[in-house]
Chain A
Amino acid sequence: MTTELPVSEQAPVKESGILVEDSGVTEVSATERIDAHLANDNVAENAAVVSEDEAFWKSIPEAPTDKEVKLLRSLLFSREIAIIEKLRSSYTNAQYNAKKVGNILAEAILLRSKSDNGLNVALESVVDNILQSSLQKRKTEFVDVLYPLMGPTIRKSIAESFRSMMADFGKSMEMAFSWKGLRWRLEALRTGKTFSEVVLLHTLEYRVEQVFFIHSDTGLLLSYLINEEINAKGEGGDTNDAGMLSGMLTAIQDFVRDCFKGGDVESMQMGECTIYIKKSRLAYLACVVRGIPPVGLQRKLEEILEMLLIEYADELNDFCGDTAPFADAARLLETCMLSHYQREGRQVHPFWGKWVPYALALSFCIGLGVVYYGHAANIGAHREAIAVLRAEPGLMIVHVQEESGIFDRSPWKVIAFHDEFARMPADILTANGMDAALFSFNLVPFISHDRSVVLRRAEKSFSLPETVSMSLDNGLLTFKGTAPMAWILHTREAAMLLPGVKQVDMRGLRDPLAEEIARRVKIVEGVTVRFPAGGDMPITSDQPHLNNAMDALVELERLTRKMGIVVSLTIYGHADATGTAKRNYEISQARAHTVASMLYARGSGMPISIYGMGSQYPSDEKTGEYEQEKTMRQAPYGDDLASRRIEFRVHLTSQPTITTERLLSQ
């Protein structure tokens, strides 16, 4: 079939044309048709011209109608017809084709991209367009995705540039004040290099000097690159050493891994050089860098290693010492041979060029040094103060705007959340012996839940009596000590509303006055005052009890008045069961009445309610238990003395306070 290809390529249409005419079906022509069909297929594929393909389909002659020929055809070519049908259907089936192309797409792309960059050229504009349109359509999504990346990146790069600035300063200082400057000058004289060249060499910020691509298991060097400048000067050591060095690097890592189980070496320091290592199971990259490399270098190494691993996956797996297949790896290694100098080299004039700039630089550096060290101290003081402020409860520093200009001594701007019950920042600084003028504060009020601040807030808002102590633990506010009941009641409600307080425990609080009151109420309500049968004056033996109770009531009145509590009294009079109900009702009321008048006579002014209960509530107490009764042997007061009695009930109601009264009236 392939041999026929050139023929059909020369005149494919013509040949099909012949076939159209030659519909006289013979064995030979049928075979030819198959060949031509397939050949044409190839042509169509190769040229990828659809219209030609269509033309071909049109050019296929109709199947013969002659019955015998049909039979003959099916007898002779049933197999071929089936094959052709299968080929045709698969050729026209878009899904099948897509699947087939899909199977080989990755390999095809790989093959092509290995041979030239045609694919890149072809895809570039397409990918560009896709990116552009999707960026435009989904701006916010992209922002969302990029946002978390950009923050750290920016921070990192700022930190990096600050670091290099400091390093720069450090170098200038060193150059001005140390022997190094002199040494470099001597070195320049000795080596015949210009002074600036020597400075350049020493002020090199970073330079990737050597890159090793190493097989992980054997430690054998697969590919190696050395910076040309170093190589030319022979400073990098013998290139031959690279093999040994890569072995050594591997051994060191083996050793470290053995000593610190699982720990992998990521970098090693070697004098002024750092070796960065990016590892994978099969191979690793080691990169010797002089100076401080940019943050991006590590990522770059990672990327290169990934690419190498993809490109040489098989070779790495079957590695048996032959490095020939890795000859091309250097191409990739080349991309990480970066370098960066701090300053550009200058042309130096014979005399003036040598001395005047140097003297100027020296005096400038001295001046700068003074300012710089002042500046550094200034920054130090600020930082220290900020640290103190950060530690203060109830003060939350949100933003510090550092005025890092060397000549700029204006105060740093600090924005902070501040609880009104926390100390003022200026006071904190003064209390710590620091200069409050270092900062200008912009305080935003907020409510802190910090323990000490919550306690201070509680103290201030409760006007805490000295006799009360307070503690806060996990939102539980506990009070202990003694305080007036009114304060206790008021505080109980207020405390629950205090920010930072979740629970209040007041069981440890006592009001001594309330206890006094309670004691007296008990005396009053517990008193026994009995009456003789038919009489409304208490029996003489109970008179002292009644006096006691009345004293207690008067005292109670005095005590409660202080607390804004109103005492009122109810006196229940009782009679025994003898006699008519009406009489009993009257006598019981008379008894209560008598006691009430006695109380008023003692100077009490409290409201008293009187109830005559008749004989409905006889006493539970057995008569005859009183000693007096026993000694008297007789029962001069009748036999149900205990029922002929009065009872006190004390009521305490809190007086509406003046403030609430005022509130209500408004």
Chain B
Amino acid sequence: MINKKVCMLGAFSVGKTSLVSQFVHSVFSDRYLSTVGVKISKKEIMTCGKEINLLLWDMEGKDAYVDINTSYLRGAMGFFVVADGTRKETLDIALELREIAFKYLGKPLPNKLLINKADIRNKWEITPEMLEGLREKRIDFFCTSAKSGDTVDDAFKSLTEEMLQEQNSAK
């Protein structure tokens, strides 16, 4: 059995917890329960003919007052940074967290940017031009919806595959 530790990073209320709960239990709730500290979930998936255990560390969201606790990042093998499409400042925070994680872990680990709440695209502040900018910067991103489950599985699967590749190339 292969286990992978994956961290969920992002500003507060962007939907980290919702994404995990959609991916693991396929449920979504409108209620917002802010995560304190860290919450760990587990999901077994099959990819590339291998059974893989994902240990998902859903971390407290960053806001102006709360910095993320980097020690939870220790030993992570991959991570998601999550932004909320309806608040464009969360994208900046997400990109900043990405850099912090690289710096803390000492190397660029497999990671994906998730721009969440794709089900309410009409309320998005993040524009297609901004997405184009990300593409130019070669940042891998997915537009997900924890509510409808759109592209959630794809995103997790994609990260897992990248982590497996990383593991094989390290050998």
Interface stretch, picked from A218-226, A407-415, A541-549, A559-567, is A218-226
Cα–Cα distance between A250 and B52 once the two chains are bound (Å) = 20
Q: How far is the CA of A216 from the CA of B3 in the complex (A)?
A: 14
CB of A219 within 8 A of CB of B75, answer: yes
* Total residue contacts A-B, CB cutoff 8 A: 71
Min CB gap B76→A, angstroms: 7
Given contacts A243-B53, A244-B42, A248-B40, contact A217 B74 (CB under 8 A): yes
With contact pairs A251-B72, A320-B170, A321-B77 given, residues A219 and B1 touching in the complex (Cβ less than 8 Å)? no
- Least CB distance from B60 to A in Å reads 11
Whether B55 pairs with A255 at a CB distance below 8 angstroms is no
A113 contacts chain B at the CB level, 8 A cutoff:
no
Report A216-241 CB contacts with B as 1/0, cut-off 8 Å.
Answer: 11111100000000000000000011
Query: What chain B residues lie within 8 Å of A220 (beta carbons)?
Result: 3-5, 55, 75
Residues of A within 8 A of B159 (CB): none
C-alpha gap A378/B170 in the complex (Å): 71
**Which of B3, B38, B42 lies in contact with A251, CB distance below 8 A?**
B38
Interface centre among B3, B74, B163 (most CB of A within 10 A): B3
B72:A323 contact, CB within 8 angstroms: no
The answer to whether A323 and B1 have CB atoms under 8 Å apart is yes
B41 part of interface (Cβ distance < 8 Å): yes
Smallest Cβ-Cβ distance to A255: which chain B residue: B37
Cα(A322)–Cα(B163), bound, Å: 12
CA–CA, A218 to B72, complex, Å?
9
Q: How far is the CB of A226 from chain B (nearest CB, A)?
A: 16
Question: A residues within 8 A CB of B75?
Answer: 215-220
**Which B-chain residue is minimally distant from A326 (CB atoms)?**
B1
Asked if B57 CB lies within 8 Å of chain A CBs, one says yes
Whether A94 sits at the interface, judged by CB under 8 Å, is no
Give the Cβ gap from A407 to chain B, nearest Cβ, in Å.
55
Distance in Å from the Cβ of A218 to the closest Cβ of chain B? Answer: 3
Contact B2 A254 (CB under 8 A): no
- Find the B residue at minimum CB distance from A247: B40
Closest to A251 in B: B38
Q: A218-B76, A258-B71 are in contact. Are A322 and B2 (CB under 8 A)?
A: yes
A253 to chain B, nearest CB (A): 10
Inter-subunit contact B55/A254 (CB<8 Å): no
Q: A219 and B53 in contact (CB under 8 A), knowing A247-B40, A320-B170?
A: no
Decide if A243 touches B42 in the complex (CB within 8 Å). yes
Which one of B1, B52, B55, B71 contacts A247 once the chains associate, using CB atoms below 8 Å? B55
| A664 within 8 A of partner (CB) | no
Given the complex, which residues of B lie within 8 Å of A149, measured CB to CB?
none
B170 touches A244 (CB 8 A): no
Complex Cα–Cα for A626 and B77 (A): 119
| Chain B neighbourhood of A221, CB < 8 A | 3
Residues of B that sit less than 8 Å from A by CB: 1-5, 37-38, 40-42, 52-53, 55, 57, 69, 71-72, 74-77, 163, 167, 170
- Those 8 A-B pairs whose CB atoms lie nearest each other, nearest first: A217-B75, A218-B75, A247-B40, A220-B3, A254-B71, A218-B5, A321-B3, A244-B42
